[in-house]
Amino acid sequence: MIIIGERINGMFQDIAKAIREKDGSVVQEWAKKQEQNGARYLDVNVGPGSTEPVETMKWLVEETQKASDLPLCLDSTNYDAIEAGLKICKQPAMINSVPAEAAKMERVFTLACEHGSEVICLAMSEEGIPKDSESRVALAMELVATADGYGVPIDNLYIDPLVLPCNVAQDHGPEVLETLRQVKLISDPPPKTVVGLSNASQGTKDRELVNRIFAVMAMANGLDAAIADACDDELMAAVATARILLNIDIYCDSYVDVFKQA
Ligand code: THG
């Protein structure tokens, strides 16, 4: 499983402050720190309630790219902000994200074709997030079929079954895991899968424990990527260990260090 570092997000107080004060050093530090700790992509999100999402996205992308060459995961529901970000990304990016809604799929899949982007596809529609795995998988199939119609290669698609906090939506947990399994059966080759890992633990007492346990459970069900806290060493060690136990990496005595350096 690859880690998409979650930390450059205006949801965090220090990033919100950096945005307000146009202090790029904070963004650059998080970019470097996450890369050093094993992140393979960096999520970039202007945060909720941004007054100028397009300008802020451009600024965050520029500051991030000053400090890291990792590909970016442009995280916004504002597609003008995504497009502005894509135009200045130095290498192909990931668009985060699109739900199964016709007008949004048209905009995002067209952008993805123009820019050679990967796309995170959300298992939700106008009606919201369904509970049962069958409905989530049906939405995933709709997204995959529609992307194909626009010419987006299946290798560029990540299905996100949508993780909700376990303290308020406990019954969704098994449905998310089952969706991860079933998505691998909908096409050959199948799309990849991704989750927003820290969602699982929002509002819970021992967040890091919830995150790392859910991470390895999801990996056992075929999870390919997670937007997660790359600076949580216990999480990164759990992921490295699960990769060994799932026979994804070859065992060596220092595999946790190797995972970070890879
Ligand atoms: N799927 C996709 N993209 C996503 C998500 C997803 N992007 C955003 C989010 N979910 C993943 N990123 C985060 C980032 C932070 C937190 C959770 C998920 C988080 N933040 C602290 C909180 O809410 O308690 C607040 C910050 C602070 O400590 O100041 O938990 O699911 N495709």
262 pLDDT exceeds 80?
no
List, for residues 106-123, the tens digit of each pLDDT value.
Answer: 999 999 999 999 999 999
Rounded Cα distance, 178 and 123, in Å? 13
List, for residues 93-109, the tens digit of each pLDDT value.
Answer: 999 999 999 999 999 99
List, for residues 19-71, the tens digit of each pLDDT value.
Answer: 999 999 999 999 999 999 999 999 999 999 899 999 999 999 999 999 999 99
- For position 261, what pLDDT does the model report? 79
Comparing CA positions, the residue from 210, 62, 204, 167 lying closest to residue 195 is: 210
What is the CA 53 to chain-centroid distance, rounded? 19
The answer to whether the predicted template modeling score (pTM) of the entire model surpasses 0.95 is yes
DSSP state of 69: -
219 pLDDT exceeds 80?
yes
What percent of the chain lies above the pLDDT cut of 70?
Answer: 100
State whether residue 231 is helix, strand or coil: coil
The alpha carbon dihedral of 117, 98, 79, 53 has a sign of negative
184 pLDDT exceeds 90?
yes
Q: For all residues of the chain together, what is the average pLDDT? A: 97
9 pLDDT exceeds 90?
yes
- 201 within ligand 1 shell (Cβ under 6 A): no
- For position 123, what pLDDT does the model report? 98
Output the CA 252–ligand 1 centroid distance in Å: 33
Do 160 and 197 touch, CB atoms closer than 8 A?
no
- 123 within ligand 1 shell (Cβ under 6 A): no
State whether residue 213 is helix, strand or coil: helix
Atom of ligand 1 nearest to the CA of 207: 30
Output the CA 136–ligand 1 centroid distance in Å: 21
Q: Which segments of 153-207 are extended strands (E)? A: 157-160, 192-196
Q: Whose CA is nearest to atom 28 of ligand 1?
A: 12
The alpha carbon dihedral of 145, 125, 116, 79 has a sign of positive
